[in-house]
Structure 1
Amino acid sequence: MAAISRSRRPLALAAAVAVALGAGALAVTSASAAEAPLKDYELTWGIKQSYRSYVTGMAAGSFTPADGATQAADNGAFTFAGGTGTYDSDTHAVRLGFAGSLKIASKLHGFDLTLSDVRFDSGAAEITADVTSGGTTQDDVPLADVTVTRTMTGMETKLTKEAATVLGSASYEGAAGDPLTVVQKTPPTQSPSPTGSPSSSTSPSPTASTSPKPTGSASSTASPSASQTTSPSASASETGAATQGDIADGTLGWGVKQSFRTYVVDGPAKGRITASGGATQASGNGDFTFTEATGTYDTDADTLKAAFKGAVNFKGHEANGSYGLDLTLSGLTVELDGGTGELTAYVESLGKTSDDVVLAHLTAGSSDLKAEDDVVSLDDVTAELTKAGAQAFGGFYTEGTVLDPVDLSVALSDDAQLPDGDGGSGDGSGTGGSGDSGTTSGTTGGGTTGSTTGGVTGALASTGSDVPTGALGAAAAVTVAAGAGVVLAVRRRRQA
């Protein structure tokens, strides 16, 4: 396979990779034998964690590995096995191609693509793959630049412009991808079909196969059954008294901010709120409930990290079929340590995405994590808007603004019973008022959609007593989506 003509790492780095491959590879000296065959490799890469959360969460889609490719449990990283290729003793480059394919699809968001023929080239320092979409296949699409290391484990990746096109968002260009690991499997574990070269039986055996697995590497959990039998949550469910392990389930109750919801549904935005992907909204334009928590806990150390399924979309300021406000929060994650922590989310506003935004600083009423009947519950956790959160709302809520409190319950075992939530019924779709009445038509499923044809009208002061004197956070999305003209119209109306 010809080397891909992209920027190459210094020769010293390539030589370090050669050391990792062992002395056998360096023993090849003749020009005709400059490339030594390699086999039995596997590549583990998750593309990007927030992208996986988006596909299975807000997009209600799926990943389907096939033909030898696998995915780690809990929507983890992907492993492509059966890797074969060559080591070039002149350039010290490792070039490998892997078996398996990965289908990524969402009917809700209208995408269906397949990655196959995944390749890694240490000389070009990149990952490529064939991409099939709409019946057309593009060969050798560069997906990520790789910071190649000697052991080829836990290597940093950076998504390319082409990857951003494949994944459907320009914001992915230059973003940090998941770490990449390329190792040789031991023949007893898996014996891929030989390449037919007699020398393959004496191909160099890299020392990388015996190096420790990097933290978080999914290659060590390629077999779901193995990961399940060693999961800390298993001991929790058996004994009912484990102090640390995996979270079995859980819910997060949060309203973002009451005045924001009022502004969207009853105020000038004349819009609607829609919960999806496992999230619901309480009736009467109430709080949101996010579900199916995953993560870890340690009640001795009083630490907890929990990620929740579900998304909530705020949409308003409709004009001629376009919306000035279209803001989605998904992939909510709570992390606590000794009673304080952070609330992060995936933020999307009219196609502009931001990954893992720290929206709020959290402060619980107690620093202790106490479990009762294998359930940890924290109520009325204070949430204060961060600088990054204020930017996500366009700066119209200031840093330090108190948001709605957070209620959290996580099950520490499969048998634990979570408390009943306040989630709304049906599809959780909030609707705007009709005309100038400014009344709420409800947020329960099956409600009729209110008028969304109104422009930027009405006084912001009518949306609630805790509305900021400048403009509500929803207007921030208007800034991003519709430009300064719309916001100027709001400001001029307020001055009038």
Structure 2
Amino acid sequence: MPVRPRHSFALAAAVATAAALGATALATTTASAAEVPLSGYELTWGIKQSYRTYVTGAALGSFTAADGASQAADNGAFTFTDGTGTYDTAGHTLHLTFKGTVTAKSTLHGFVREMSDFQYDSAAGTLTADLVSDGGAKQQDVTLATVAAPTSQDLTNLATTLTTAAADFLGSPSYANAAGDLLSAVKPASTTSPSTSSTPTNSTTPSVTPTPTGTATNTTTPSTTPSTSASPSDTASEPAATKGDIADGILTWGVKESFRSYVVGSVANGRITTLDGAAQATGNGAFTFTGATGSYDADADTLSAAFEGAVNFKGHEDNGTYGLDLTFADLKATLDGGSGKLTADVTSLGEKSEDVVLADLKADSTDLAAKNDVITLDDVTTTLTAAGAKAFGGFYQTGAALDPLDLTVALTADADLPSDGSSSSSGTGDSSDNSGTTGSTSGGVTGSTTGGDVTGSLASTGSEIPVAALGTAAAVTVAAGAGVVFAMRRRRTEA
């Protein structure tokens, strides 16, 4: 069996314990001297603030704490009670198991995540739990996070890092190796009175419950005084004003207006569908993606935000088969000093490519200063990259201008995102087809000079149809020239 690294803490506590036991305790067995039973501890951990915000925000879900667990007010951290275990006086480590179950549930996004039987092992530096996903089989003792070694006798506000297993369970790959909420394992002051065991305190086997902050007041009945600085509110502290995790956010982007018009126009005769929480504004407008997670550093002017939702474009249907079937999902925006990248998972005709850099970003300002705990960037320029041009089948050239995007992120859970972002996203788009399903209902197919005029932009430039993304047959048609497109259109009309 491999030797696990031991996160030692509170050497002073072990020394105090040894002094408290006195010479008579040396007569006890090796097992009893090495492991001392512990009880009455509490574990406080919020998983990850941005995850809690997502569940109760974009997912329209809720948390339920039961079986001894509780949640702090305002969607705060969780506390698990009745912690029992042992303290290793030789290695100065402890292992504790806690009672309580926390369940995250969203009817909108269709998930149920249950966590119970939390265990903290300071020797291994791990926090484990039993997990149940969507009513399936229970996974036991899954490592949700690694826990930083204590730097003092105080087991409060310990840094945690989420594992890949936690990311899989929570449903977002971005959580893997991301910072989790701070963790505290303490024995509340109200339960730290000296032992009331019927065993005499001057016997050869005195009752002792060493803790990371225990100090002996005499040689027969040590008094433990563990730190009580942790509470659900201070272990789930809001991100710092200048650096931390993103609590929520909105990305509004139309991809390319002329492309939207083409998809729902009379040539492609297709439809646009928003999925997984994304929405489209009325009138074949821009798309809104919500539920932002990520991090920011206002001092360094850096930001990385991932958004929920997807948008699908379909057109050129022939007996149930589409020549155009293109989906953008898992959009991420990164900025450093006003410049950055926009990436997405791209699925074209059933073939998926992850984290494709669709566009270069350029903001008007390099400053990411927040106002009322909100960072807002409007009209960020988006320029098609080589990888983005490939995603569109090579028809749009590298460097082509795409629609500008608006980006708004909340730095704290109680920060107010602008109402105009949410109202524009409500539109008619939801998880089903939006109103732009045919050329006659939206997109300005007749009369628009910004991309929806088939007899205008198509005939004059021949450059508004992404060839390869439409499939081989459509690509051949477009390559032959706009005149062939219209001829095919007339034949279909006559038929």
Q: Same fold (TM over 0.5)?
A: yes
> Which residues in structure 2 correspond to 1:45-444 (within 5 Å)?
45=45, 47=47, 55-56=55-56, 59-67=59-67, 69-70=69-70, 78-89=78-89, 93-132=93-132, 138=138, 140-144=140-144, 146=146, 149-151=149-151, 153-160=158-165, 163=166, 166-167=169-170, 175-179=176-180, 181-185=182-186, 187-188=188-189, 191=191, 202-206=209-213, 221-222=234-235, 252-258=251-257, 261-262=260-261, 265-266=264-265, 270-274=270-274, 277=277, 280-289=279-288, 311-314=309-312, 316=314, 325-329=326-330, 337=337, 340-342=338-340, 361-367=360-366, 378-384=377-383, 390=388, 402-407=401-406, 422-423=424-425, 425-428=427-430, 430-431=433-434, 439=439, 441-442=441-442
Change (3 A) 1:47 1:419: closer
Q: Structure 1: which 5+ runs fail to align?
A: 1-5, 233-242, 444-460, 476-486
Measure how far apart 1:316 and its partner are: 4.0
Q: What is the percent sequence identity of the aligned residues?
A: 38
Counterpart of 1:9 in structure 2 is 4
Once residues 249 and 102 of structure 1 are traced to their aligned partners in structure 2, the CA distance between those partners, rounded to angstroms, is 22
Q: Deviations over 1:14-59 (max 9, x none)?
A: 4x34648654567787423121233454545555677656645664
How many residues are paired up?
Answer: 424
Counterpart of 1:453 in structure 2 is none
Q: Which moved more, 1:99-108 or 1:124-133?
A: 124-133
Q: Deviations over 1:294-352 (max 9, x none)?
A: 999999x796969798634325479979996554346x667675xx1547688596998
Once residues 77 and 11 of structure 2 are traced to their aligned partners in structure 1, the CA distance between those partners, rounded to angstroms, is 27
Measure how far apart 1:118 and its partner are: 1.1
What CA RMSD, in Å, does the superposition of the two structures yield over aligned residues? 6.0
Q: Deviations over 1:157-203 (max 9, x none)?
A: 4223xx5664467x58x932543644343633x64999998877642
Measure how far apart 1:95 and its partner are: 1.4
Q: Deviations over 1:65-103 (max 9, x none)?
A: 345545578866655455332123456553111232211
Change (3 A) 1:244 1:53: closer
Change (3 A) 1:181 1:303: closer
Once residues 342 and 182 of structure 1 are traced to their aligned partners in structure 2, the CA distance between those partners, rounded to angstroms, is 33
Q: Deviations over 1:121-164 (max 9, x none)?
A: 3445543322345666626241436365344721434223xx56
Work out whether residues 147 and 157 of structure 1, in 8 Å CA contact, stay in contact via their aligned partners in 2: no
Once residues 370 and 353 of structure 2 are traced to their aligned partners in structure 1, the CA distance between those partners, rounded to angstroms, is 36
Q: Structure 2: which 5+ runs fail to align?
A: 199-205, 215-225, 444-457, 481-495
Change (3 A) 1:368 1:55: closer
Measure how far apart 1:115 and its partner are: 1.0
Counterpart of 2:487 in structure 1 is none
Measure how far apart 1:405 and its partner are: 1.0
Change (3 A) 1:94 1:329: same
**TM-score, normalised via structure 2 length:** 0.59
Once residues 256 and 32 of structure 1 are traced to their aligned partners in structure 2, the CA distance between those partners, rounded to angstroms, is 67
> Counterpart of 2:61 in structure 1: which amino acid?
G
Q: Secondary structure at the match of 2:99?
A: coil
Work out whether residues 116 and 130 of structure 2, in 8 Å CA contact, stay in contact via their aligned partners in 1: yes
Measure how far apart 1:116 and its partner are: 1.0
Larger Rg: 2
Once residues 72 and 138 of structure 2 are traced to their aligned partners in structure 1, the CA distance between those partners, rounded to angstroms, is 27
Once residues 441 and 311 of structure 1 are traced to their aligned partners in structure 2, the CA distance between those partners, rounded to angstroms, is 24
**TM-score, normalised via structure 1 length:** 0.59
